Amino acid sequence: MYFKFLFLIVLLGGLLHLNEAQTTNCSNNCILRARCNPYFKDLVWTVVDRVCRVYQNGCFFGNENCMRANRCLPPMVATSREECMKEIYCPRMCSRGAPPVCAWFPYTLSNGTTGGRDMAFGSRCVLDSYACRNAQAYVNEPRIGRCT
């Protein structure tokens, strides 16, 4: 009897929770968005959905976590470069079929000149793999399609 009751409570609790999750509006979870300096390189490594992602610095990383919070997603957690570069997260080979992408990589020359260049990749997977293998962060979401 007691156990049945407990079961009911758990069941109801689960349903209520589910309902709450469906109607939760996260869009106000995080409103602090900073302007980040793309030329300040202080890489943050993280594994997101089993893919190693490299962020140019903590500002970009924080902004991405802010946007994730607003989409009700859990925050990304920084990890070590070694962990991120494991073959399962930073693959040498990517499966075919995904569309090509164009990503913007900022750089700073030794004389202090800053700039950025668009680079084309066969797919998002090839791009992310390039980024982690070369410890080079792209800034902003890559554009789908060829670089123009």
Ligand X SMILES: *[C@@H]1O[C@H](CO)[C@@H](O)[C@H](O)[C@H]1NC(C)=O
* Residues in contact with ligand X by the rule CB under 6 A: 25, 27-28, 109, 111, 113
DSSP letters spanning the chain? -HHHHHHHHHHHHHHHHHHHHHH---TTS--------TT----EEEEETTEEEEESSHHHHHHHHHHHHHTTPPPP-EE-HHHHTSTTTS-S---S-SPPEEEEEEEE-TTS-EEEEEEEESSHHHHHHHHHHHT---EEEEEES---
Q: Which is nearer to ligand X, 95 or 113 (CB)?
A: 113
- Least separation in angstroms between CB 84 and ligand X: 31
Q: Which is nearer to ligand X, 97 or 112 (CB)?
A: 112
Q: Which is nearer to ligand X, 72 or 144 (CB)?
A: 72
- Least separation in angstroms between CB 67 and ligand X: 14
- Least separation in angstroms between CB 37 and ligand X: 18
